[in-house]
């Protein structure tokens, strides 16, 4: 089966939605821990439900990624560049899942109620323990910096593809090409979705 | 499509555009994180000022000397028309509390300050929590985090004498007339012989939210049943813990949770001002303290008594001290738990100076 030229529209929608949410989340996080103003309260109240939303979206996104094969990197990309590209993507996926879980476990270990709104809360996923809290809280902070730096690198690399290499990588995640292949693992028990997708499927590439 | 053999035009400008985009995002992040504004008041700076008298690893940076207690709150339904929180309905809610002295020294003599504090964590049956940190004074000296930070700086030990400079403290209070009510109280206040005979006030205002969603501005305090208040004994530095042990051995200690409703126009954003005496006050239920534990091993040790941890039915007011307390307590909590966890970079206990087992 030929690799598709571009990401599935759903993958693109998830990418750009989550890009905004995750950047907002990182700014909310770094802002709320360094201010004593009233902003601290509403940023904190935003941070928890936003983190939960990112976690759920990350799960959906990984499902989409496994179901719809992403386009291959250009064959003429140097091996090291390909390796960095793949590694950084797995770091990003890992952090999308790990950061909300660490935050959730950290609040659990601190004995805090994990409020997502005025009345809504999640159950604890770790025992109340101050030492565990400290490890998780520091991990949450340092991994947030790693997350931000990886995003900076990702953004720089995307622009490098768009402006310097001018290859198909950037358009494959924006509006460049239609997504053209069958799912990576076609399966019969998802027939309604299949037919739905067939309707929007486009002819094979030229 | 791309043709790698062809160099794009204006290559330098393209690299500059990429660099500028990445740098812009990085600078925005650094700004929000406070790295470009070192004069911004951060929780870390407040906690640094609190520990200027010396770091005591593993201890709270303020209210360092204290004792854990446990018991329950028995609601009577009287506050339920004003707050929908189940804590106010008739019934019991378990409580883990902590009595303490203000200040960062865990070995401070009990008679060194006339103020005692009482923090509570109510664990509601619906999984929500209510945390409150109360003090045995009627008002806070200042109304903003900035003024609090100034006060901390003015009372820092002078490197020459090792003691705070009275002239700096005097200058601070001269510049902060809002501290008048607090200073008037301090003038007559005596260090009490017991935690159990004190009233403790939340100082900051909050909102109760009733079942219809209406807000009611409130303040609360706990008022003791024990009426034998007396000044602490001279010569003993640790009488509060032993007094509490003796009293609890004889039976539970009780307080009434008194909720005062604001009248229109009463300030909710100024903890330096008392509300007039004639405001409606509701006895919302009885706080019963049954046992005490040392703070090194008790259940209160790992609790951050952040006063903005509130159940559905109570919300923060516009009092600017609340957000600052939340932020600074979180910073103190991270420092002391990191020290307990012996994380790299955390302060270590100096074993040569350890005074407690």
Task: Give me the residue spans of the domains in chain A.
Answer: 9-187
The answer to which of A55-64, B1-10, B107-116 has the lowest mean pLDDT is B1-10
Catalytic residue among B39, B56, B63, B216: B63
Q: Is the pLDDT of residue A131 over 60?
A: yes
CATH of domain A9-187: 1.20.950
Please check whether residue B16 lies inside any domain of the structure. no
- Rounded to the nearest 5 degrees, what angle is found at the Cα of B190, between the Cα atoms of B187 and B192? 155
Q: Which two structure tokens, joined as six digits, stand for B291?
A: 């046992």
Q: Which residue of A has its CA nearest to B25?
A: A152
- Interface contact flag, B303 A121, Cβ < 8 Å: no
Confidence category of residue B162, pLDDT binned at 50, 70, 90: confident
* A102 CB-near residues (< 8 Å, 6+ apart): A136, A139, A140, A143
State which residue of chain B sits closest to A152, comparing Cα positions.
Answer: B22
Query: B-chain residues within 8 Å CB-CB of A35?
Result: 34, 40, 42-43, 327
Tell me how close the Cα of B191 comes to any Cα of chain A, in angstroms: 31
Question: What is the rounded CA–CA span in Å between residue A75 and residue A72?
Answer: 8
Query: Cβ of A121 and B128 within 8 Å?
Result: yes
Q: Which of A36-40, A162-166, B143-147, B157-161 has the lowest mean pLDDT?
A: B157-161
Name the residue among A34, A35, A131 with its Cβ closest to that of B341. A131
Q: Name chain A contacts of B18, Cβ cutoff 8 Å.
A: 156, 159-160, 163-164
| Contacts with A34 from chain B: Cβ below 8 Å | 32-34, 40, 42-44
Give the start-end residues of each E strand in chain A. Answer: 114-115, 121-122
Q: Which residues contact B279 (CB under 8 A, 6 or more apart)?
A: B260, B261, B262, B263, B266
pLDDT at site A3: 66
Tell me how far apart the alpha carbons of residues A107 and A105 are, in angstroms, rounded to a whole number.
6
Q: Where does the pLDDT of residue A192 fall: very low under 50, low under 70, confident under 90, or very high at 90 and above?
A: very low
Least Cα separation, residue A203 to chain B (angstroms): 19
Q: Cβ separation of A111 and B302 shorter than 8 Å?
A: yes
Tell me the pLDDT band of B53, cut-offs 50, 70 and 90.
confident
| In a domain? residue B130 | yes
**CATH number (domain holding residue B243):** 2.40.180.10
Residues of chain B above pLDDT 70, percent? 96
CA distance B101 to B105: 9
Task: Decide if pLDDT at B345 tops 90.
Answer: no
What's the pLDDT band for B6 if we cut at 50, 70, 90? low
Mean pLDDT of B17-36: 97
Stretch (H or E) spanning B38: none
- Chain A interface mutation, best of B207, B341, B347, B348, highest count of A Cβ atoms under 10 Å: B341
Structure ipTM: 0.92
Number of H helices and E strands in chain B, helices first, is 7, 10
> Choosing among B32, B206, B317, which should be mutated to test the A contact, i.e. which has the most A CBs within 10 A?
B32
Q: Which residue has the higher pLDDT, B144 or B8?
A: B144
> With pLDDT > 90 as the criterion, what percentage of chain B qualifies?
89
Q: Are B260 and B218 in contact (CB under 8 A)?
A: yes
Bridge partners of residue B285, in order along the sequence: B75
Q: Is the pLDDT higher at A198 or at B202?
A: B202
Is residue B37 in a domain? Answer: no
pLDDT: which is higher, B352 or A135: A135
Helices (H), chain B: 11-32, 43-50, 145-154, 166-175, 180-188, 239-250, 320-341
Does residue B26 lie within any of the structural domains? no
* A39 contacts on B by Cβ (under 8 Å): 323
Measured CA to CA, the distance from residue A42 to residue B326 in angstroms comes to: 12
Q: Is residue B44 part of a domain?
A: no
Q: Do B142 and B151 contact (CB within 8 A), yes or no?
A: yes
Whether residue B330 is contained in a domain is answered as no
**Does B68 have pLDDT greater than 50?**
yes
Residue A174 has what DSSP assignment?
T
Contact B14 A163 (CB under 8 A): yes
- Given a cut of 50, whether residue A200 has pLDDT beyond it is no
For residue range A143-188, list pLDDT tens digits in order.
999 999 999 999 999 999 999 999 999 999 998 666 555 444 444 4
Provide the residue range defining the domain that includes B172: 65-319
Angle between helices A39-67 and A9-32 (to 10 degrees): 150
A155/B34 Cβ within 8 A: no
Q: How far from the centroid of its chain's Cα atoms is residue B223's Cα?
A: 19
Residue B265 exposed, middle or buried by CB count within 10 Å (0-12, 13-18, 19+): exposed
Q: What number is the average pLDDT over the span A80-105?
A: 97
Is-catalytic flag, B63? yes
Whole-angstrom Cα distance, residue B258 to residue B199? 10
- A147 inside 8 A of chain B by CB: no
Q: Which of A35, A41, A137 sits opposite B316 (nearest CB)?
A: A41
CB B327 within 8 A of CB A35: yes
The total domain count for chain B is 1
Q: Residues of chain A with pLDDT > 70: what percent?
A: 83
Chain B residues closer than 8 Å to A129 by CB: 302
Contact B2 A41 (CB under 8 A): no
Residue B160 within any structural domain of the chain: yes
Residue B27 lies in a domain: no
Lowest mean pLDDT among A95-109, B8-22, B151-165: B151-165
Tell me whether residues B18 and A160 touch, CB distance under 8 A.
yes
- The set of residues, in sequence order, having a beta carbon less than 8 Å from that of B44 and lying 6+ positions away, is A34, B331
Query: What are the structure tokens assigned to B21, written together?
Result: 């985009």
The number of C-beta contacts closer than 8 angstroms across A and B is: 141
């Amino acid at each position: 089966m030929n690799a598709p030229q571009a990401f599935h529209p759903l993958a693109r929608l998830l990418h750009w939605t989550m890009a905004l949410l995750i950047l907002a989340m990182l700014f909310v996080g770094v802002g709320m821990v360094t201010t004593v103003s009233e902003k601290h309260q509403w940023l904190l109240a935003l941070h928890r439900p936003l983190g939960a939303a990112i976690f759920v979206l990350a799960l959906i996104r990984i499902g989409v990624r496994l179901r719809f094969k992403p386009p291959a990197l250009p064959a003429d990309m140097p091996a090291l560049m390909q390796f960095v590209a793949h590694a950084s993507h797995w770091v990003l996926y890992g952090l999308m899942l790990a950061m909300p879980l660490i935050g959730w476990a950290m609040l659990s270990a601190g004995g805090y109620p994990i409020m997502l709104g005025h009345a809504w809360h999640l159950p604890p996923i770790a025992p109340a323990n101050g030492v565990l809290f400290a490890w998780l809280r520091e991990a949450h902070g340092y991994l947030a910096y790693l997350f931000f730096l990886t995003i900076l690198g990702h953004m720089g690399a995307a622009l490098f593809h768009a402006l310097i290499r001018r290859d198909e990588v950037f358009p494959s995640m924006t509006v460049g090409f239609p997504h053209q292949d069958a799912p990576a693992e076609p399966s019969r028990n998802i027939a309604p979705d299949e037919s739905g997708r067939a309707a929007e499927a486009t002819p094979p590439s030229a | 499509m791309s043709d790698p053999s062809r160099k794009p035009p204006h290559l330098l400008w393209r690299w500059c555009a990429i660099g500028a985009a990445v740098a812009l995002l990085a600078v925005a992040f650094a700004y929000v994180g406070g790295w470009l504004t070192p004069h911004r008041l951060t929780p870390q700076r407040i906690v640094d000022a609190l520990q200027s008298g010396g770091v005591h690893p593993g201890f709270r940076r303020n209210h360092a000397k204290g004792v854990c207690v446990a018991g329950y709150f028995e609601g009577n339904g009287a506050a339920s028309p004003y707050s929908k929180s189940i804590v106010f309905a008739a019934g019991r809610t378990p409580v883990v509390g902590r009595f303490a002295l203000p200040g960062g020294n865990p070995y401070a003599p009990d008679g060194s300050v006339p103020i005692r504090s009482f923090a509570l964590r109510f664990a509601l049956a619906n999984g929500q929590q209510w945390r409150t940190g109360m003090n045995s004074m009627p008002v806070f000296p200042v109304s903003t985090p900035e003024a609090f930070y100034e006060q901390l700086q003015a009372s820092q030990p002078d490197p020459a004498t090792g003691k705070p400079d009275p002239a700096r403290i005097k200058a601070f209070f001269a510049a902060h007339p809002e501290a008048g009510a607090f200073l008037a109280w301090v003038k007559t206040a005596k260090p009490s012989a017991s935690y159990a005979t004190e009233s403790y006030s939340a100082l900051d205002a909050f909102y109760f939210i009733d079942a219809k969603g209406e807000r009611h501005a409130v303040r609360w305090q706990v008022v003791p049943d024990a009426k034998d208040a007396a000044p602490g004994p001279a010569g003993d530095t640790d009488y509060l813990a032993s007094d509490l042990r003796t009293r609890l051995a004889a039976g539970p200690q009780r307080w009434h949770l008194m909720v005062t409703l604001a009248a229109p126009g009463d300030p909710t954003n100024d903890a330096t001002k008392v509300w007039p005496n004639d405001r409606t006050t509701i006895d919302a239920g009885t706080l019963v303290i049954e046992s005490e534990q040392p703070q090194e091993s008790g259940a209160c040790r790992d609790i951050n008594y952040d006063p903005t941890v509130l159940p559905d039915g109570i919300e923060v007011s516009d009092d600017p001290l609340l957000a600052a307390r939340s932020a600074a307590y979180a910073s103190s909590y991270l420092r002391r738990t990191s020290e307990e966890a012996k994380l790299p970079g955390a302060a270590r206990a100096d074993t040569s100076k350890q005074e407690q087992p």
